[in-house]
Amino acid sequence: MSTEAWGSDQHPVIARVLAARGVVDPESARLSLRSLLAPASLGGLGQAVELLVRALDENWRIRIVGDFDCDGATGTAVAVRGLRLLGARQVEFDVPHRMRHGYGLSAELVAEWPAPHPELIVTVDNGISSHAGVDAARARGMRVLVTDHHLPGETLPAADAIVNPNLPGDGFPSKSLAGVGVMFYLLLALRARLRDLGRYASGEEPDLSCLLDLVALGTVADLVSLDRNNRILVAAGLARMRRGQLCPGLAALVEVSGRQCARLTASDLGFALGPRINAAGRLEDMRLGIRCLLSDEPDEAREAALQLNAINAERRERQQAMLDEAEAALEGCDERLLRGEVGVTLFSQGWHAGVIGLVASKMKDRLHRPVIAFAPADEDGEGSLLRGSARSIEGFHIRDALAAVQARHPGLIGRFGGHAMAAGLSLERDALQAFSAAFDEIACAALSEEALRAEILSDGELAASEISRDLAEALIAAGPFGQGFPEPCFDGEFEVSEWRVVAERHLKLSLRHPGGSMPVSAIHFGGWQGNPPPGRVHLVYQLALDDYRDRHGVQLMVRECWPA
């Protein structure tokens, strides 16, 4: 957001929205890269940078080991592109397969690598819990540099260097860096060290800002909190993308998702581009997603983007089928919850381990309770191991809850890790019932009745004259919005003039504001429940641009609807 927008002509709605999110003065509103936190206070950078300087000087083979989600994919692409910019001549990547290897740098993944082995492994968005994988790599003579942002366990892996803002005692002020953000900071520090060593005395130093499009996508897609530092990174990346300064792979993904570069928002990154990258890791192989992001040939990038688009369509179909099954399984859920079961676990033999995180997220939203969805860990579903994906609500730290279960019942969980709001785990199939009871016990003790009541937060009502394209565009300019810095949401009563069902599930509405004479267009995705909407409704909505078929208008994106 430019500081000019903070002047006396600033729209009062914008001031209200920003103030509600803690932005109350021009300085906190400024999202210039000059205000980015310096790398110096990020622990472990010194040792990591010296390791990389030696790798560059001695032309080591470097293998980046990423993760099979969008943060891991973008972080891997940033690592490969960035290290090549800074002089590395032998950089390649690998990423575990979700079903064969599980999460992170594992001993099984290391064992698959043929000779000659890399001299240096650099993990991105994983590694802080990869004790066995790090040990296996070092036993084969490889050095390991771990870059991660996940919370560590009681002990750290025996890596040659570790960079993670969430290590105990780390002084970096922002604990919300995504994995791709940690890697970007490492590259900034490496460039600074090479500058100090005089490597750029006779020429221009590499411009790492060309990586910010990938940093923005990975940060938004990983749902880390958009604190001021992350908002600076995302705003800078979006600005480049809107100017058309984005890598061919992202440009192709924008095209196949039906978006326009000039109008991209953080919401587009989270709901259009991110899922298409994530789909590769969920159902296929994330190497496809990373190759798309690394491609410098537009035709090659577009072919990869089309494949990702098709995989994402398959993912949506599987997700809907799994959600329908979960909804059916929860038909009697209200009775269960009335009996006090607040830590919800779900399992189906036919579910796919790559999609259970989405099921857990949807069920968490519906129930406003922490939810863990399980599926067989192997592709044929016949093995004894289950993989679980957990999603939580405010006030319940899901990774700490899993640690508490493990402390009370040693050996019940195989492996686990994650954040406050999301985590992953594995356990034996015959341990599921015992785990479900233990998890529910932890949740019941931690969550009060008040915490289990969902709240809908609104930025207030809009006058009829404020429902305009100018305000919609001003709200976009005031972003980026996302996790921890929520999208502006308004509420109010409207009369329903006309309505129709779109694509069998959605409601298209024509509304009338009590204070206006012109009709207001609205869309309620998933809003068709089989009955006509009432004549007067109370809506919670977001203000959005409507450029469908060159309308150049504005519409309400309905989030909640009930009779007025």
Is residue 537 packed enough to be buried (19+ CB in 10 Å), middle (13-18) or exposed (0-12)? buried
- Examine the pLDDT at 6 and tell me if it is beyond 80: no
Q: What is the pLDDT of residues 196-253, one digit of tens each?
A: 999 998 888 999 999 999 999 999 999 899 999 999 999 999 999 999 999 999 999 9
- Which is more confident, 554 or 336? 554
pLDDT of the residue at 19: 94
Q: Is the pTM of this model over 0.85?
A: yes
pLDDT of the residue at 11: 85
82 vs 67: CA distance, rounded Å: 18
Q: Which two tokens stand for residue 107?
A: 């001993």
Confidence of residue 102 (pLDDT cuts 50, 70, 90): confident
Question: What domains does the chain contain, in order, with CATH numbers?
Answer: 42-306 (3.90.1640.30), 330-446 (3.10.310.30), 464-563 (2.40.50.460)
- The dihedrals phi and psi of 392, each to the nearest 5 degrees, come to -125, 175
Mean pLDDT of 90-112: 90
Mean pLDDT of 90-106: 88
> Residue 322: beta bridge partners?
none
Using an 8 Å Cβ cutoff, are 301 and 277 in contact?
no
Question: Hey, what amino acid is at 143?
Answer: R
pLDDT of the residue at 2: 43
Q: What is the pLDDT of residues 280-317, one digit of tens each?
A: 888 888 999 999 999 999 999 999 999 999 999 998 89
Sequence-distant (6+) residues with CB within 8 A of 531 are: none
Q: How far is C-alpha 278 from the geometric centre of its chain's CA atoms?
A: 9
Mean pLDDT of 515-536: 92
Question: Hey, what amino acid is at 250?
Answer: L
> Residue 391: beta bridge partners?
371, 422
Question: Hey, what amino acid is at 171?
Answer: G
- Examine the pLDDT at 8 and tell me if it is beyond 70: no
